[in-house]
Amino acid sequence: MDQETEFITLDGSLLEGGGQVLRNCVALSCLTNKPVRIINIRLKRDKPGLKPQHLSGLQLIRDIFKANLQGDKIGSKEILFHPSDVDQNKTFICDTKTAGSIALLIQIALPPLIFSAPPQKSKLPLPPRTQKAILKGGTNVALAPPIDFLIEVFKPIVQREFGFNFDINVIGRGYYPQGGGEVILSVDPLVNQSLKPLNMIDRGKIINIKGRVTIANSPKDVATKIISGVSQALSNASLPELNNIKPDIEINIEKITFGKGHDILLWAETSSGCIISGNAVSNRGQSPVDVGKIAAEELLRNIKHGGCVDEHLQDQLIIFMAIAEGKSQIVTGPISLHTRTAIHFAEIMSSAKFNIIKLESSESQQRVQEHSERLDDEYNVGLHMIECEGIGIKITR
């Protein structure tokens, strides 16, 4: 790597201090063509440095963008990443060889793949080839969004709001500790077009609640018990807006799977097109009824705050808001640390400008000081509006 290359040095231990910093900053490095040095990677975690999932994601992006990458080994606390040209001559394969989250691999790969069309060689205007990545690891694991969340919540929102097309095809599921799941990510790159700005400021009314219970190498009655837990939690909630709404929960018995497990995703759809979710995956010591209750309680928590997105989608939208063209606005509940982290590094890596407005009531809004100067307790309660003036990334021909 050229010693004269100027790198943006980023401290990976700041704020949330986990793998999200790595994923967002490397994705933004590709999008802005800015080389980065990330230090103190996951420094405050029990096992600091790169884990197999992080390493696999880095190597995937390295291959797609023909990047120079240094420090790519398990346990490394520092990397140097310098993107180059897009490689569009093959289907990319990324295998964590563990139960590392495939959803988090998609988190690092999707934003740069939107703008991964290589220069047009033909004089005839041809659509860019769909980019594909085969991702292997865990589809439904703890401490990461389940693959169903990306399909049922994340995908319809970002496609509709930002205006690009992609697909997530689940070939087989993988659970902890074996992993072995497989997903194909297909992305149609944009040319001569920027992402549209996000505009989600009206939550609307809840019109239905849907769900999917997935059981893999588990007794069939597990699904019934999970649904029972959901029913108990929802009936005890006493939320007027859920009166007369009966959840429609499907049961998915997986035949192509590695490992044993079960999980549930619940999602509420609103009259304005918002999708609010809650999920839970089986864990040692938890009964299936408890799994259902945990997912329902998370859904209820996300409904009660009145925002347009749930706690999982909130931070995942930040990078797209930063690279979109124009002013994006979204009303959310409490601002998560993951969201604050995503905003912090998006502003460093781009010229996008974020602002957070505390919504005191429907009649009165109080603009608070710049997000970098706020105290934690200003984020933890109430409604907020996140605004962003995006940089409007575009590939032109």
Does 315 count as an annotated binding residue? Answer: yes
What is residue 314's three-state secondary structure? helix
Contact yes or no for 141/175 (Cβ under 8 A): yes
What is the token pair recorded at 78? 């520092």
Q: Is 313 annotated as contributing to ligand binding? A: yes
188 labelled ligand-binding? no
| 312 is an annotated ligand-binding site residue | yes
DSSP string, 62-123: HHHTT-EEE--STT-S-EEEE--PPP-SS-EEEE-SSS-BHHHHHHHHHHHHHT-PPPP-SS
- The set of residues, in sequence order, having a beta carbon less than 8 Å from that of 172 and lying 6+ positions away, is 139, 180, 181, 182, 254, 256, 257, 258
Tell me whether residue 107 is annotated as binding: yes
CB 350 within 8 A of CB 29: no
377 labelled ligand-binding: no
Burial-class residue 20 by CB neighbours within 10 Å (0-12, 13-18, 19+): buried
Closest to 107 in 3D by CA, of 342, 388, 350, 393: 342
Structure tokens belonging to residue 289: 């009824």
Chain Cα centroid distance, residue 259: 24
Distance, in Å, from the CA atom of 33 to the CA atom of 83, rounded to the nearest integer, reads 6
Which residue do the tokens 């291959």 mark?
63
Is 338 a residue of the active site? yes
Q: Which of 338, 344, 371, 384 is catalytic?
A: 338
Closest to 103 in 3D by CA, of 156, 142, 147: 147
8 A C-beta contact, residue 327 and residue 388: yes
> Annotated binding residues, as ranges?
107, 312-316
> Annotated binding residues for ATP, as ranges?
107, 312-316
Active site residues: 338
